[in-house]
């Protein structure tokens, strides 16, 4: 099953077109086969009917003529497609070997003659020897008769002696009442093509027309799914986006209505959580402020400093926790951000703090984003790298599809089993909880949330030469419409 699925198109549109195309092609092939079989049946059923009737008519004509008139009539009919000659003795063996054509023609001729007179039929190849079969002394027929469409006589044409050989004929000999034999060499109709080109062309046109209609129909059916998928992708970046239009077929309207209802519920849930967290943040600031004031009243300088450090750590933890839980969504407008200028600002800030930050490469063009969030994500990654390696390098790789920012360090790296675990809230590799050795454990999670809110992602990789690479990937395509 997996092997078969590998050859199927990945999209629903491609799979539907494959199924419809294969079904139409199979139907056309079956239709062609039925047409060819029916044509062969009709051809076989009518084979030899017209030549047999013509021979019977000529025999009837010859029976009522004298010897001299017979010779003149024979000279007139001594041209293809029905060549007549008179002979005293038959040349066809009494019981020649006959194929199905000769046997069927014999039966039709006997029926057309209406009596049991001797008849001999054999299949021969070509008209080349017919001139030698002309009775001695009979005049050569000049260019006076030729056969037209359907085997009729018309116009002027070449005589039998001038016709090329190699054409299939039936040589028929019928005995007249006076004992002489009338020999007829009738050209056999050419065997029909195995598959007529006109039929092939007709079926090809029908197939192309049906495939075109199928293409339009499938695109019309699949288009709402593309719209729904795009809306679901945009919903992860902006819960306040405009709802989907509820129009089209009933199933499409139902799907759009369900999606809009889900969006309203999510938006309501997120807004309620923001209000609760805002109130909680306000309520926490009041006791923290009282604690800070009481700390300032302590007489012991060492104790006051330790209480102050604990309060600052608590305030930082509360602020980052609330920011993480709010989802970083403050609905700030997204504008083109000068990524190269942003990196220069981060370099200046790091230099002011005595840290080393290098950059490699440049962004080819601005990136549409929330500038403050993008700066915070990169700042968190730089802080994490500097905390473990004392410095960092930001490598920029830009293309038409995506902007990739790699924050590289020369630190100890992270065990492979914990590369994803470090994104969990409050998770730290160090055993202690001191901010001096790792902060609150929210910086990487916040950075990943920012990346995903812009349609990108953040992953961590251990570098082969040692150290850690934090790869922040942001999509270029579609960023302008965010």
Calculate the average pLDDT of the chain: 76
> Which pLDDT tens digit goes with each residue over 324-354?
665 555 556 788 999 999 999 999 988 888 8
Q: What is the pLDDT of residue 128?
A: 42
Residue whose tokens read 């050989």 = 165
Q: What is the pLDDT of residue 147?
A: 33
Q: What is the pLDDT of residue 325?
A: 62
Q: What is the pLDDT of residue 101?
A: 65
Q: What is the pLDDT of residue 52?
A: 83
Residue whose tokens read 């590998």 = 6
Asked if omega into 81 is within 30° of 0 (cis), the reply is yes
Q: What is the pLDDT of residue 343?
A: 93
Cα 131 to Cα 75: distance, rounded to the nearest angstrom: 11
Q: Is the pLDDT confidence value at 322 over 80?
A: no
Q: Is the pLDDT confidence value at 363 over 90?
A: yes
List the helix and strand counts (H, then E) for the chain: 11, 14
Q: Is the pLDDT confidence value at 367 over 60?
A: yes
Q: What is the pLDDT of residue 404?
A: 94
Q: What is the pLDDT of residue 339?
A: 93
Cα 123 to Cα 141: distance, rounded to the nearest angstrom: 25
- Give me the percent of the chain exceeding a pLDDT of 90: 12
Q: Is the pLDDT confidence value at 158 over 90?
A: no
HSE of 39 in the Cβ direction (CA atoms, 13 Å)?
13
Q: What is the pLDDT of residue 96?
A: 55
* pLDDT range class, residue 177, cuts 50, 70, 90: confident
Contact between 102 and 122 under an 8 Å Cβ cutoff? The reply is yes
> Which pLDDT tens digit goes with each residue over 221-266?
778 877 887 787 777 666 777 888 888 778 778 888 888 888 888 8
* pLDDT range class, residue 106, cuts 50, 70, 90: confident
Overall average pLDDT of the 85-96 stretch: 78
User: Could you name the CATH architecture of 236-327?
Assistant: Orthogonal Bundle (1.10)
Q: What is the pLDDT of residue 346?
A: 92
* pLDDT range class, residue 429, cuts 50, 70, 90: low
Cα 62 to Cα 163: distance, rounded to the nearest angstrom: 25
pTM above 0.75, yes or no: no
**Which residues are 407's β-sheet partners?**
394, 470
Q: What is the pLDDT of residue 193?
A: 56
Q: Is the pLDDT confidence value at 364 over 80?
A: yes
Q: Which CATH number fits domain 333-481: 3.50.50.60, 1.10.287.3240, 3.40.50.1240, 3.30.565.10?
A: 3.30.565.10
Bigger pLDDT: 73 or 273? 73
Bigger pLDDT: 458 or 273? 458
Phi, psi dihedral angles at 189 (to 5 degrees): -65, 140
Q: What is the pLDDT of residue 341?
A: 93
Bigger pLDDT: 380 or 162? 380
Bigger pLDDT: 14 or 134? 14
> Which pLDDT tens digit goes with each residue over 16-69?
788 888 888 888 788 878 877 777 677 666 666 778 888 888 888 888 888 888
Cα 441 to Cα 429: distance, rounded to the nearest angstrom: 9
Overall average pLDDT of the 182-197 stretch: 69
Cα 272 to Cα 280: distance, rounded to the nearest angstrom: 12
* pLDDT range class, residue 209, cuts 50, 70, 90: confident
Give, as one character, the DSSP assignment of residue 11.
Answer: S
CA 375, 380, 383, 389 torsion-angle sign: negative
Overall average pLDDT of the 309-318 stretch: 77
Q: Is the pLDDT confidence value at 359 over 60?
A: yes
Domain boundaries, the chain: 11-46+194-227, 49-187, 236-327, 333-481
* pLDDT range class, residue 405, cuts 50, 70, 90: very high
């Amino acid at each position: 099953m997996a092997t078969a699925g590998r050859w199927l198109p990945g999209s629903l549109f491609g799979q539907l077109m494959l199924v419809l195309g294969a079904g139409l092609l199979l139907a056309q092939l079956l239709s062609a086969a039925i047409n060819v079989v029916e044509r062969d049946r009709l051809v076989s059923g009518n084979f030899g009917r017209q030549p047999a009737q013509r021979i019977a008519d000529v025999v009837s004509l010859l029976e009522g003529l004298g010897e001299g008139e017979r010779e003149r009539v024979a000279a007139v009919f001594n041209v293809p497609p029905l060549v007549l000659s008179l002979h005293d003795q038959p040349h066809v063996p009494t019981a020649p070997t006959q194929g199905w054509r000769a046997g069927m023609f014999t039966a039709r001729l006997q029926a057309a003659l209406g009596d049991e007179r001797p008849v001999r039929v054999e299949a021969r190849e070509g008209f080349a020897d017919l001139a030698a079969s002309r009775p001695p002394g009979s005049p050569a027929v000049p260019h006076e008769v030729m056969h037209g469409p359907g085997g009729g006589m018309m116009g002027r044409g070449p005589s039998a002696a001038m016709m090329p050989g190699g054409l299939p004929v039936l040589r028929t000999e019928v005995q007249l009442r006076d004992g002489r034999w009338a020999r007829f060499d009738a050209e056999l109709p050419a065997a029909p093509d195995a598959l007529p080109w006109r039929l092939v062309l007709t079926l090809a046109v029908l197939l192309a027309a049906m495939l075109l209609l199928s293409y339009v129909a499938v695109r019309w059916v699949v288009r709402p799914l593309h719209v729904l998928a795009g809306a679901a992708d945009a919903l992860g970046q902006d819960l306040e986006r405009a709802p989907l239009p509820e129009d089209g077929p009933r199933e499409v309207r139902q799907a759009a209505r369900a999606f809009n209802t889900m969006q309203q519920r999510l938006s309501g849930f997120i807004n309620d959580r923001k209000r609760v967290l805002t109130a909680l943040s306000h309520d926490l600031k009041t006791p923290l402020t009282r604690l800070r004031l009481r700390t300032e009243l302590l007489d012991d300088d060492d104790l006051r400093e330790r209480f102050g450090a604990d309060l600052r750590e608590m305030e930082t933890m509360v602020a980052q926790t609330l920011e993480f839980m709010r989802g970083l969504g403050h609905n700030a407008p997204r504008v083109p951000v000068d990524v190269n200028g942003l990196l220069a600002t981060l370099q200046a800030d790091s230099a002011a703090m005595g840290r080393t930050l290098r950059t490699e490469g440049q962004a080819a063009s601005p990136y549409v984003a929330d500038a403050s969030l993008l700066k915070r994500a990169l700042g968190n990654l730089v802080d994490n790298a500097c905390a473990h390696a004392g410095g960092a390098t930001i490598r920029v790789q830009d293309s038409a599809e995506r902007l990739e920012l790699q924050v590289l360090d020369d630190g100890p790296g992270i065990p492979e089993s914990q590369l994803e675990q470090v994104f969990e809230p409050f998770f730290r590799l160090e055993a202690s909880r001191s901010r001096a050795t790792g902060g609150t454990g929210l910086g990487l999670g916040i950075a990943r949330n920012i990346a995903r809110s812009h349609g990108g992602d953040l992953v961590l990789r251990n570098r082969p030469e040692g150290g850690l690479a934090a790869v922040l990937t942001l999509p270029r395509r579609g960023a302008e419409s965010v």
